[in-house]
Homo-oligomer: A and B are copies of this chain.
């Protein structure tokens, strides 16, 4: 069985999605390689988690890019912001499916450059929600930071619902969008 670094990283992500505290031995098994081979590709657990953190933040960045949040902020119109918000809900699904474990990962971000990248995405989100408030697209009676926390929380809920099989993947986007934008009250 031959696996390259990226294949091993992908298998590690899938395993950690199902079992966030898997050991290196368990991760190697899931990747179909021996622990020795896992260590040859990633010198330590820290290096593996660092790589997974980079992949996760890259995916998050891609979601924001694909949704065009920066462009929407620059344009500032309600139409542009609304379209970006809609696209965000669309692209979040892929991210949650693949990197759900990273939503509540508590130890992966020990690297300075990784922490900086995380804060960068936070800043982009906050700027986006602030612009959305300014454009009258989202509520002004709650801070942009809270709105980002609410979205994050719903992504966690989505991850759990998917993990438990309580909702179908194809419903995920609609449920997320509706809950986030219009809430659960009738």
Contacts and interface: CB of A to CB of B under 8 A. Distances in A.
B182 A21 contact: no
Contacts of A139: 178, 184-186
B143 A167 contact: yes
Contacts of A161: 145-146, 149
What is the oligomeric copy number? 2
Interface centre among A147, A154, A160, A180 (most CB of B within 10 A): A154
B180 A183 contact: yes
A27 interface: no
A141 B171 CA distance: 11
Contacts of A167: 143, 145-146, 149
A6 interface: no
Nearest to A106: B20
A150 B154 contact: yes
Contact of A153 (B136, B147, B153): B153
Interface residues of A, number: 41
Contact of A147 (B106, B133, B182, B184): B184
A149 B96 CA distance: 15
Contacts of A147: 184
A136 B184 CA distance: 11
Given A136-B186, A180-B184, A182-B185, 18 more contacts: A21-B106, A138-B184, A138-B185, A140-B186, A141-B178, A142-B175, A146-B161, A149-B167, A150-B154, A151-B184, A152-B156, A153-B153, A153-B156, A153-B157, A153-B160, A178-B183, A182-B182, A183-B183
19 contacts: A20-B106, A21-B106, A136-B186, A138-B185, A139-B178, A142-B175, A142-B178, A143-B166, A143-B167, A145-B161, A146-B166, A146-B179, A151-B157, A154-B157, A156-B156, A156-B157, A180-B184, A181-B183, A182-B182
